[in-house]
Amino acid sequence: MADKVRADKATAVAELTEHFRASSATVLTEYRGLTVRQITDLRRSLGRTTTYSVAKNTLAKRAAADAGIAGLDELFTGPTALAFVSGDPVEAAKSLREFAKANPLLIIKGGVLDGKALTADEIRKLADLESREVLLSKMAGALLASLSNAASLFQAPISQAARLVEALRLKAEADPSVLRGGAGTPAPAPVAEVAEVEAPAAEAGAPAAETEAPQVEVAEVVETPAEETSTEATPETAADAEA
């Protein structure tokens, strides 16, 4: 019988030790006077990320020591129940504080957060902090606001440029000389003058035209003897020669 009791205690200590090690925070409470129904309601309010367990002080003290947690020995007095938090410690502290307000028989004695012992006042201050979800929501809102401001900074030059282009278009419609650089700016040269200016460039680069010119002169030389031969063959030309 004694061996079984020792084995049961060893098992209980091992389980509590594992809870201490695996939890992000642990809150020690005194539940004297609470009914079974009230404790059940408390467990429900803490949610699935928090385990609320009633434990003997001697076993809980030994488990805390095995888990390497110091500074809790004086809290293991009276009926003790431990809230092992695996979720957000702030949310768990808020739930315990709200339940204690509605049920004054629940007394928060202290706890541990990330291996550091906390007093009851520190647990209450932890409950006053904003939860992780609220902080993430605020961070997301701040990030969206920053992105919106950055987008507006990029859009401002674009909208200004668009307004400037529209203003120039309206001014050009009212005064066409704007397109020629203003009223005092000379009008562009006529097309003919431009052609004359461009002509030397065409002559400078026209070796092919010079090559074709001799072909025209050869054609004239060939045609001239033909005309003279046909003149000598006419009777009028022969009569003149006899006279």
- Residue ranges of domains in the chain, CATH in brackets: 8-129 (3.30.70.1730), 133-181+188-204 (no CATH)
d(CA 24, CA 14): 18
Beta-bridge partners for 112: 26, 117
Please compute the mean of the pLDDT values over residues 91-112 and round it to a whole number: 94
Three-point CA angle 16, 17, 20, nearest 5° = 85
Over residues 14-50, the pLDDT tens digits come to 999 999 999 999 999 999 999 999 999 999 999 999 9
Residue with the bigger pLDDT between 192 and 169: it is 169
Tokens of 142: 């701040």
Please compute the mean of the pLDDT values over residues 182-196 and round it to a whole number: 48
Highest averaged pLDDT of the listed ranges 139-148, 215-224, 229-238: 139-148
d(CA 25, CA 11): 22
pLDDT band at 4 (very low <50, low <70, confident <90, very high): confident
Over residues 140-167, the pLDDT tens digits come to 656 665 565 655 555 556 667 677 777 7
d(CA 13, CA 11): 5
pLDDT of residue 3: 82
Q: Where are the beta strands (DSSP E) in the chain?
A: 25-30, 50-55, 80-85, 107-113, 116-119
CB 24 within 8 A of CB 114: yes
Beta-bridge partners for 27: 83, 111
Taking 60 as the threshold, does the pLDDT of residue 214 lie above it?
no
